[in-house]
Amino acid sequence: MLFTLAAVPLFGMIGLTVDIGWAHFRQEAAQTAADAAATAAAVAAYTSTGGTNMLCTSPHVACYTTEYTCPSTFSSTPDNNILAGCMYAKENGFVTGGRQKVTFQAGVGSAPTATGVTMSYWVVARVTENIPQLFSAVLGYPTASVTARASTGAREANSGGCIIALNPNASGALRTTGTTNVTTGCGVFVNSNNTSDALSMVGGSIINTTGSARTEVVGQWNGGGFVQVNGVTSTPLTGRPTMGDPMLDMPTPAVPTAMKSVPNMNSHDDTTIDPGYYPGGISLGSQQTLRLNPGLYYIENGLNLGGQTSLIGTNGVTLFIKSGVVNMTGGATVSLTAPSSGTYQGILFFQDRNNHSAATLVGGTTQQMNGALYFPGATLTYTGGSSTVATATSLIADTLTLVGNSNIAAAATTLYTGNSGGVSLIE
């Protein structure tokens, strides 16, 4: 009698274990199908457009703000990228019909499953299945439901360019003066949705993009200057999807253990310093030259270059500005190159995200800065010096003012922003 009474819960527990194990197995299978389906749809969109202009109106690219349910049967040659994703789900054992269902959402901008992550084109695939229960059915649970989801995004090649104003709604998020003449081979992107002058161009200022690069604006521009493509007057591409900070995942450096300071210098002195922690800042007086050995410079209380000074660091330096103002004016000669490897590969200036002090990088005609200038929480005023000497530079700031002449041939090659697009997981 005792054995009989114990057998019921015993077999119930065994049955529950079997059912849970089977449900877990089907959950893993569903996740594999969702991953494959989302990736296939994103790759198909990227491939069909050549990695550029991945829009809802592009041929063979589909967008669905509400869930689209894959058909139970379809042609072996899909008409668009979402149907290609449906085929990959089927190849992995899941198709709409019976106990199974495969759905998609897709679009441009920010995926609904990944807040704050903006891609040129995103895909969300969901796979569900109702599986019959064996032993658990006697307890009143005849079926169980398993669900899997995958969110994948595609980035356009050269998406966002190398001159990026991040502020989402500022008037004049990117400003140019009447004497500005900027030539860039990697494009301009203004993230502000301001409906009158997200891009504000004054007088005869010129932004000229070359090759396939373009000037892109989420909102509108005021048209006071000249936007050119390969030297021919054109107009910016407006109404573009918003983008997130492309360097948001770049880590803030730790404070180095080596505490440093700049030695006292007289006019015409030429001094070399080493990387480390500079709590007192770095400041140069008139006609002083400071050379930087390769490495990371962690700077508090700002960086200031006086008139006719020189700052030279061509073997790979990163200047992290924890606090204070960056001020380079007065005809300073600047020759700086970011590291070519390591955590801060390609990063020349990195101002702390909580440091909102406006920065000025306006040197003389010999100013050359090769690397990313990243000021995510601040206004950056910049001139690249000579308009005839091209650099590999990325300008990324909350708001940006361009003055004088500059020639940016390519975006800085970093671990966080690249010159090519591709497909990646976004959740």
pLDDT of residue 169: 93
For residues 196-205, average pLDDT: 91
3-state secondary structure of 337: strand
Torsion of CA 5, 11, 13, 15, to 10 degrees: -150
- pLDDT grade for 215, boundaries at 50, 70 and 90: very high
Let me know if residue 2 belongs to a domain.
no
270 touches 289 (CB < 8 A): yes
Residue 424 domain-assigned (yes or no): no
Most confident of 262-276, 322-336, 402-416: 262-276
What pLDDT is recorded for position 158? Answer: 46
Average pLDDT across the chain, whole number: 87
Q: Whole-prediction pTM value?
A: 0.68
Q: Where in the sequence is the domain holding 365, given as residue range(s)?
A: 163-417
Q: 419 pLDDT exceeds 50? A: no
Q: In the predicted model, what is the mean pLDDT of residues 26-36?
A: 94
**pLDDT value, residue 207:** 93
Domain boundary among 109, 133, 155: 155
DSSP string, 236-294: -B-SPPP---TTTTPPPPPPPS-B--PPP--TT-EEEE-SEEETT-EEE-TT-EEEE-S
pLDDT on residue 422? 64
* Token code pair at residue 296: 């990371």
- Same domain (yes/no): 198, 344: yes
Determine the residue type at 372: A
Question: d(Cα 88, Cα 85) in Å, to the nearest integer?
Answer: 5
Give pLDDT, residue 244. Answer: 73
Q: Give which of 242, 229, 162, 236 is closest to 200, Cα–Cα.
A: 236
Same domain, 167 and 148: no
Total structural domains in the chain?
2
Residues 146 and 190 in one domain: no
Mean pLDDT for 333-341 is 92
Does some domain include residue 1? Answer: no
- 147 & 207 share domain: no
pLDDT tops 90 at residue 156: no
